[in-house]
A = this chain, B = another copy of it.
Amino acid sequence: MKEFVKLSHGSGGVEMMELLEKLIVPIFSRSKPPEGFVGLEYMDDGVAIPLPGGGYLVVSTDSYTVKPYFFPGGNIGVLAAAGSINDVLMMGGKPVAALDSIVVEEGFPLDDLKVIVDSMSEVFSSEGVIVMGGDFKVMPKGSLDGIIINTVVVGFAERLIVDAPKPGDKIVVSGPVGDHGAVILLYQLGAEAEEERRRSRLKSDVRPLSKLMLPLVERYGRYIHAASDPTRGGLAMVLNEWARKSGSVIVVEEDNVPIRSEVERYAGILGIDPLYLASEGVAVLSVDPSVAESVVEYVRSLGFTEASIVGEVRKAEKYRGYVLLRSSVGGLRILEPPRGELVPRIC
């Protein structure tokens, strides 16, 4: 039977993992990477190449398709710059240079393009990342809805963070989760959400995390066993990935996860668990328990005042590869990895 790409294949959840593992990874896994190269198995959207003088070159890329391309808290340019910077940071790298490829639809307003490029440039320059080149394409009217931006960020890492959480680790989040996903969802809804949009205080959290990750890695690098930004699929996706890869079980204290009241409220209206909503300015860390409290304190001192320990990694006996959610009202339940197309074109 002929099969077709589904929206859910791109949503960062179970269907996407299945497609990648069935179709894409096997094809690219035919060649073995040279000694020391770190890629597919640890870092989906990045690559680390060992340098002769020591340390690693880290490269990350992502294509951004978010709709609407202007939204409260940012725009696709901010997202494209911050997103790829954050990916390099989450590998333990210091971002230094960037390339961008813009594909835009014929008829796209030049003023909008200027604002988007300006925003992207501002983010890069605020983080000390130099844009060194790029590509620009135009697709005929009707063949692309708006704009797609691909960014590549190159950085250097003394030590890599390779997403290998260890039993005993504490799970730390740097701030409230789900802001970006909530606002994009609200803006993708049609006319019936207009009233809600008018009075909503929802705002994307999109921002680069250099000011968090660079000092943190400098001070606590060897105690950070995994780091990720919970974008597509939210915190639920990151933790499920970690549990699966490390063959452990991750237990999350539901009440300890910071969530803004407006996100909680809006997710409630829609009947969605905010743990599935994307963040674009939050780090999730798996930290050695010996320093977990100090890490939280340090992260707070860097301006991320709502940083919290939200759970821990345990050796799996029964629930190998699962994430369990403990609520204050009692009992554990499984936090499933996301399925379906919760929000298309979120990033």
Chain A residues in contact with chain B, CB under 8 A? 2-11, 16, 19-20, 23-24, 27-28, 30-34, 37-40, 43-47, 49, 51-53, 57, 59-63, 65, 67, 96-97, 99, 101-111, 113-114, 117-118, 121, 124-125, 130-140, 142-146, 148, 150, 152, 154, 341, 344-345
Q: A45 and B117: CB pair below 8 A?
A: no
Residue of B whose beta carbon sits closest to that of A147: B5
Q: A59 and B27: CB pair below 8 A?
A: no
Residue of B whose beta carbon sits closest to that of A105: B5
Q: B99 and A150: CB pair below 8 A?
A: no
Q: A44 and B134: CB pair below 8 A?
A: yes
What are 17 of the A-B contact pairs (CB < 8 Å)? Answer: A2-B109, A4-B108, A5-B105, A9-B138, A23-B114, A30-B121, A30-B125, A33-B97, A34-B96, A40-B132, A47-B97, A59-B152, A99-B152, A103-B148, A137-B345, A140-B345, A143-B146
Q: B47 and A132: CB pair below 8 A?
A: yes
Q: A138 and B33: CB pair below 8 A?
A: no
- Residue of B31, B130, B146 touching A31 (CB-CB under 8 A): B130
Tell me how many chains of this kind the complex includes. Answer: 2
Residue of B whose beta carbon sits closest to that of A30: B125
* Closest CB in chain B relative to A291 CB, distance in Å: 29
A118 with B27: in contact, given A62-B135, A63-B150 (CB under 8 Å)? Answer: yes
* Closest CB in chain B relative to A262 CB, distance in Å: 26
**A5-B138, A10-B136, A61-B61 known; 9 other A-B pairs, CB under 8 Å?**
A2-B110, A27-B114, A30-B125, A46-B99, A47-B133, A51-B51, A62-B101, A65-B137, A144-B148
* Closest CB in chain B relative to A253 CB, distance in Å: 32
CA distance A213 to B124 in the complex (A): 33
A101 with B139: in contact, given A3-B109, A110-B4 (CB under 8 Å)? Answer: no
Q: A5 and B103: CB pair below 8 A?
A: no
- Residue of B121, B135, B152, B344 touching A140 (CB-CB under 8 A): B344
* Chain A interface, DSSP helix/strand/loop, else mixed: mixed
CA distance A40 to B131 in the complex (A): 8
Q: A139 and B345: CB pair below 8 A?
A: yes
CA distance A142 to B133 in the complex (A): 30
* Closest CB in chain B relative to A11 CB, distance in Å: 8
CA distance A31 to B40 in the complex (A): 33
Q: Which residues on B sit within 8 Å (CB–CB) of A28?
A: 117, 121, 124, 131
Q: A117 and B150: CB pair below 8 A?
A: no
**Highest count of chain B CB atoms <10 Å: which of A19, A124, A148, A154:** A148
Q: A59 and B138: CB pair below 8 A?
A: no
